[in-house]
């Protein structure tokens, strides 16, 4: 099977829009600058993204200078949905973002992994049913199964993200063009209006293949070389309520999750870890090392 990288993306602020890249280093912590900043919920606690604050999806972030080993979270400019801009270095940035999301928040760079308190997941509010909470997070109806979260690192039940990162689970999310094409074709056949736009799913790496359907599902557990890096496909990515939110020209669409559940158990794409750092670029192929 031929697998070729067609697009690369980086998102400087968790849950905000990012930008495409032609080439990038891959480190043990993923693409430098990816999710280098995040918002902290000053009301309920914890690092939060678009699940809690869907308004973030309509904002876009870009770096003033490139990240480096010494400055992993350099200054970012944030374009708000109404066209105004605010910088992470502005004295009033927290007030501006709080007004935009309708709740008190603060913008944070990555802190050292040793500062574990920063990354702790707050306890559920009193009286909140855990199953109801997860059904809301993953946008699942009562008759739909919840994702199997046991395949993810146990620390993610303690921390909002692995300390030292702002990733939901693993450093790289890969999707195939075939998966999106499957839904585009299926929506036409069903006469549905749901738009499975790439922006809803926020991948880091997009690949083309000569397979149909959901080819990346079968790659879980495999190791491959892409560019000069070696990656491992860890788990499929269970999708959450963020994929159904409306932003930019995309409407709010709860049916997105209904289609995901019906066609692929609510999953889309796969998470990767990096076993050997290197550099990847658009046009690189993936060569499996365990074939």
Domain boundaries, the chain: 3-288
Strand-by-strand arrangement of the 105-109 sheet:
47-48, 37-41, 105-109
In this predicted structure, the answer to whether residue 291 has a pLDDT above a threshold of 80 is no
Average pLDDT, whole number, for the chain?
96
CA torsion through residues 198, 55, 193, 143, sign: positive
Point out the least confidently predicted range of 69-83, 117-131, 198-212, 219-233. 117-131
Q: Are 146 and 236 in contact (CB under 8 A)?
A: no
Nearest of 235, 237, 231, 239 to residue 287 by alpha carbon: 231
Fold of 3-288: M1 Pyruvate Kinase; Domain 3 (2.40.33)
199 pLDDT band, cuts 50/70/90, is: very high
Nearest of 48, 14, 10, 45 to residue 30 by alpha carbon: 10
Distance between CA atoms of 133 and 135, rounded to whole angstroms? 5
pLDDT tens per residue across span 14-40: 999 999 999 999 999 999 999 999 999
* Joined tokens for residue 59: 């904002």
Predicted confidence at residue 92, as pLDDT, reads: 96
pLDDT tens per residue across span 30-86: 999 999 999 999 999 999 999 999 999 999 999 999 999 899 999 999 999 999 999
Q: Are 36 and 69 in contact (CB under 8 A)?
A: no
Predicted confidence at residue 117, as pLDDT, reads: 96
pLDDT (average), residues 246-264: 96
Cβ atoms within 10 Å, residue 109: 15
pLDDT > 70: what percent of the chain? 100
Predicted confidence at residue 125, as pLDDT, reads: 84
Predicted confidence at residue 127, as pLDDT, reads: 83
Pairing verdict, β 3-10 and 19-21:
antiparallel
Q: How far is CA 95 from CA 88, 92, 105, 106, 111, in A?
A: 12, 5, 8, 8, 21
């Amino acid at each position: 099977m031929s697998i070729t990288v067609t697009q690369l993306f980086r998102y400087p602020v968790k849950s905000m829009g990012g930008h495409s890249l032609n080439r990038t280093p891959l480190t043990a912590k993923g693409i430098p600058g990816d999710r280098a900043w995040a918002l902290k919920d000053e009301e309920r606690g914890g690092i939060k993204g678009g699940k809690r604050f869907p308004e973030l999806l309509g904002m876009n972030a870009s770096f003033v200078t490139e990240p480096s080993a010494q400055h992993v979270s350099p200054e970012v400019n944030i374009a708000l949905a109404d066209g105004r801009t605010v910088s992470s270095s502005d004295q009033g940035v927290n007030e501006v973002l709080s007004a935009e999301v309708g709740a008190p928040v603060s913008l944070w760079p990555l802190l050292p992994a040793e500062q574990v308190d920063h990354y702790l997941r707050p306890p559920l509010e009193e009286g909140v049913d855990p199953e109801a909470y997860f059904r809301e997070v993953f946008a699942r109806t009562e008759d739909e199964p919840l994702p199997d979260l046991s395949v993810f690192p146990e620390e993610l039940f303690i921390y909002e993200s692995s300390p030292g990162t702002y990733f939901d689970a693993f450093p790289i999310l890969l999707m195939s063009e075939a998966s999106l094409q499957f839904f585009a074709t299926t929506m036409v056949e069903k006469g549905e209006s749901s738009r499975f736009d790439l922006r809803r799913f926020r991948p880091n790496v997009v690949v083309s293949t000569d397979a149909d359907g959901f080819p990346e599902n079968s790659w879980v557990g495999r190791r491959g070389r892409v560019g000069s890096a070696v990656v491992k496909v860890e788990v499929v990515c269970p999708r959450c309520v963020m994929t159904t939110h409306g932003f930019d020209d995309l409407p709010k669409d709860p049916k997105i999750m209904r289609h995901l559940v019906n066609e692929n158990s609510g999953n889309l794409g796969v998470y990767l870890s990096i076993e050997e750092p290197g550099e990847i670029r658009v046009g690189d192929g993936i060569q499996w090392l365990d074939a």
